[in-house]
Each structure stands twice: as structure tokens, then as C-alpha cells.
């Protein structure tokens, strides 16, 4: 079995600890900081085998060095980011797989938020660790890629099985839902999701993970072909990429 522990850190980051109960191997996905990870490892009696990084931003790699010092773990990240992921040991790219004991993740390249962004997809566990590419009802900002590149990347994630759980790296759902409702106010699934998000956040509970099927129903960045969204933002006759780019620009200044 693959155990997944969600650790909220900083203002709105999530670190994930993955533990294979058969081999005992453990991985941290995007450790923004080290101390909370070390605490969970100690509580559970686990040893850190790997760090899986999705991209080079500080709120995803900030704990790399300290965790490696304490645990001797091996750090895995994108080949394209090997010059800027601290203490990286092993580079991967699209088509590669990474192993965690008896479990295997496919590496999918998702350029857009950054040029080297990758995600880790555990098909057998229906779990996607997507960093800052896809959020609950949102997507990453375009720091190093074009709208077209991020749109292409999201098409790959859209094509994953509907039941895939989406473990993104930030709790941005409430702000994302507000924007989503502004462009698609009559979407009932979205209205219901907003209620769920507000209930969870009122109790300081996570709204992550969602699922690909939830995202297909509510996430405007996967719904650029929705006639209602296109009508709201005056983009009825535009291409999918153009509508996506316009949504991204609108969200940037929302």
C-alpha cells in the first residue's frame, strides 16, 4: 500500500510524504521546509529514501539540503532543472519512471509555470503530484512558459483517468473558486464545490486532493471550451489556447 501524508506548511503549501508499506521506502514531494517533514518521519518511525521535486521554486525545494543532510535521501528532479534544484542526485524527464518500493510513478513534463516543471503520476494508486501546474479550480502562473505550453501540459493531465486524485502543492482553492465563479456563475458543480471549500476552510481542513473528474467539472482552465465561460469573457469565436490565455490574464489581475 502507498500511504500519503499531507503536511501543511508555510502559508499555503502542502508537502506530501509517500510511504510504501511493503518496502518501507518513503519519499517527500516538494519539501518547502525540512523540520515538519523530519517530525512526521520521527513520529512514524520512517526513513526518508527520496525527495521528488516538481520544479525549482524555493517553496518546493527549500528543505532539500537539510533533509539530505539528516537522512541521506536521494533527490530526484527534472533534467532541465539540474542546475537549480539544490543537491539533485538523479535527473528525469518525460517518459521516465521513478520507483518508490513496489510503486511506480510516471514522469510527465508540464512546462508552463516553469520551463522544467514535471509531475509524478502513480497510475496504480490513482495519485497525481502536480506541484504548481494544476490547482483545485486553478492552474499555475506563467513564469517561464507561454500560455500555449501550459495549455498543452494541462491537456496531458486532463487525459488522465477521471478518478485520479489531484495532489497539488498549494491550498489556493477558495480564491480560485471565486475567480471560477466570476467567469462561470451558473455552473452548479462549481457552486457546490465553493460550499465544500468554505466549509473545509472554516475548520482549517484541506480542500486538496480533488480529482480529475472534479477539475473537469469546475476548473475554468480545463473548461476553456465551455460556451458559458466564453460568453462571459467575450471570447466566443476564439481558439482554445486564446481563451485559456485570456482566462490566465484575467486571473492574474483578479
**Which residues ranging from 12 to 51 are in contact with Fe ion (CB under 5 A)?**
none
**Which residues ranging from 123 to 152 are in contact with Fe ion (CB under 5 A)?**
132
Count, residues near Fe ion per rule CB under 5 A: 2
Active site residue 132: yes
Active site residue 214: no
Among 14, 19, 41, 57, binds Zn ion (CB under 5 A): 57
Cβ atoms of residues 20 and 100 within 8 Å: yes
Among 7, 17, 29, 59, binds Fe ion (CB under 5 A): 59
Ranges of H-type helices in 99-239: 147-158, 173-183, 188-202, 212-218, 227-232
In the bound state with Zn ion, the residue whose beta carbon lies nearer, of 33 and 235, is 33
**Which residues ranging from 79 to 138 are in contact with Zn ion (CB under 5 A)?**
132
Active site residue 70: no
| Binding-residue pattern over the window 211 to 230 for Fe ion, x denoting contact by CB under 5 A | --------------------
In the bound state with Zn ion, the residue whose beta carbon lies nearer, of 48 and 139, is 139
Q: Using the rule CB under 5 A, is 25 a contact of Zn ion?
A: no
Active site residue 103: no
Per DSSP, the residues of 36-102 read: HHHHHHHHHT----EEE-S---HHHHTTHHHHHHHH--EEEEEGGGTTTSTT--EEE-TT-EEEETT
Cβ atoms of residues 42 and 202 within 8 Å: no
- Give the CA distances from residue 82 to residues 37, 74, 75, 221, 252, in Å, rounded to whole numbers and listed in that order: 23, 14, 11, 29, 29
Active site residue 56: no
Q: Which residues are designated catalytic?
A: 55, 57, 59-60, 113, 132, 170
Q: Which residues contact Zn ion by CB under 5 A?
A: 57, 132
Amino acid at each position: 500500500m502507498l500511504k500519503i501524508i499531507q503536511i501543511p506548511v508555510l502559508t499555503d503549501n502542502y508537502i506530501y510524504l509517500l510511504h510504501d508499506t511493503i518496502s518501507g521506502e518513503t519519499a517527500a514531494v516538494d519539501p518547502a521546509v525540512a523540520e515538519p517533514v523530519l517530525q512526521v518521519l520521527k513520529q512514524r518511525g520512517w526513513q526518508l529514501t527520496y525527495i521528488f521535486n516538481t520544479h525549482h521554486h524555493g517553496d518546493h525545494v527549500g528543505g532539500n539540503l537539510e533533509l539530505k543532510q539528516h537522512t541521506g535521501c536521494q533527490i530526484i528532479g527534472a533534467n532541465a532543472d539540474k542546475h537549480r534544484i539544490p543537491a539533485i542526485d538523479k535527473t528525469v524527464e518525460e517518459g521516465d519512471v521513478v520507483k518508490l518500493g513496489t510503486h511506480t510513478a510516471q514522469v510527465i513534463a508540464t512546462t508552463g509555470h516553469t520551463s522544467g516543471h514535471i509531475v509524478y503520476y502513480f497510475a496504480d494508486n490513482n495519485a497525481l503530484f502536480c506541484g504548481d501546474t494544476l490547482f483545485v479550480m486553478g492552474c499555475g502562473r506563467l513564469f517561464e512558459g507561454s500560455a500555449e505550453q501550459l495549455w498543452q501540459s494541462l491537456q496531458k493531465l486532463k487525459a488522465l483517468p477521471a478518478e485520479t486524485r489531484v495532489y497539488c502543492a498549494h491550498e489556493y482553492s477558495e480564491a480560485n473558486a471565486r475567480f471560477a465563479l466570476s467567469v462561470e456563475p451558473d455552473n452548479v458543480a462549481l457552486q457546490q464545490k465553493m460550499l465544500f471549500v468554505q466549509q473545509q476552510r472554516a475548520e482549517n481542513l484541506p480542500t486538496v486532493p480533488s480529482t480529475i473528474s472534479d477539475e473537469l467539472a469546475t476548473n475554468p482552465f480545463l473548461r476553456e471550451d465551455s460556451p458559458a465561460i466564453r460568453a462571459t469573457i467575450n471570447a466566443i469565436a476564439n481558439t482554445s489556447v486564446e481563451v485559456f490565455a485570456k482566462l490566465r490574464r484575467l486571473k492574474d489581475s483578479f
